[in-house]
């Protein structure tokens, strides 16, 4: 059973969904894990409190990049409030495999970045109010 999840993780790593730049995002946040070098940026277009579009950029291990790709597929059409309440269970459900504590940090970096973007903090630390 884990083989199916492993195949999906590899597919998201090799063929990431929603990866690339976004013109004029309403919300942007970037963070990195200084211990392993994983980096992720999420960009959101938001209308009436709902995610209209999502893009992300990053580099890192298979788990962190697959997690970012998988989360990006789940985001479109979601209210910001829902994203703010997602927890590690959401990421573990998407990945579908058990993770060591180190790999869990890799998997959760994209969730952290996505949630900070959902709260409306820009890369530079200014709070957005475009929605």
CATH of the domain at 26: 3.90.1010.10
Number of C-beta neighbours around residue 52 at 10 A? 14
Structural domain span for residue 7: 2-119
Reported residue count of the chain is: 131
Higher pLDDT, 2 or 64: 64
Collapsing DSSP to helix, strand or coil, 53 comes out as strand
Instruction: Take residue 106 and report the two structure tokens written for it.
Output: 């890799």
- Flag whether 29 is in a domain: yes
Establish if 98 belongs to a structural domain: yes
Which helix (H) or strand (E) segment is 49 a member of? none
User: Do the domain assignments include residue 81?
Assistant: yes
To the question of pTM greater than 0.85 for the whole model, the response is: yes
Q: Is 131 domain-assigned?
A: no
Instruction: Report how many domains make up the chain.
Output: 1
Summarize pLDDT for 44-89 with one digit per residue, the tens: 999 999 999 999 999 999 999 999 999 999 999 999 999 999 999 9
Would you call 126 helix, strand, or coil by DSSP?
Answer: coil
Asked if the structure places residue 61 within a domain, the reply is: yes
Residue 126 lies in a domain: no
For residue 46, count other CB atoms closer than 10 A to its CB. Answer: 21
28 falls within a domain: yes
For residue 100, how far is the Cα from the chain centroid? Answer: 19
The whole-angstrom separation of Cα 61 and Cα 114 is: 18
Judge whether 74 lies within some domain. Answer: yes
Distance CA(29)–CA(123), nearest Å, equals 5
């Amino acid at each position: 059973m884990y083989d199916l999840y492993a195949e999906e993780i590899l597919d998201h790593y090799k063929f990431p969904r929603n990866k690339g730049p976004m013109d004029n995002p309403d919300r942007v946040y970037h963070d990195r894990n200084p211990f392993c070098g994983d980096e992720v940026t999420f960009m959101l277009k938001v209308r009436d409190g709902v995610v209209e579009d999502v893009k992300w950029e990053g580099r890192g291990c298979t788990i962190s990049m697959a997690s970012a790709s998988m989360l990006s597929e789940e985001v479109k059409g979601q209210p910001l409030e829902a994203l703010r309440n997602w927890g590690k269970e959401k990421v573990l459900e998407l990945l579908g495999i058990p993770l060591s504590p180190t790999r869990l940090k890799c998997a959760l970096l994209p969730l952290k970045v996505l949630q900070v973007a959902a709260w409306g903090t820009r890369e530079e630390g200014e709070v957005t109010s475009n929605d």
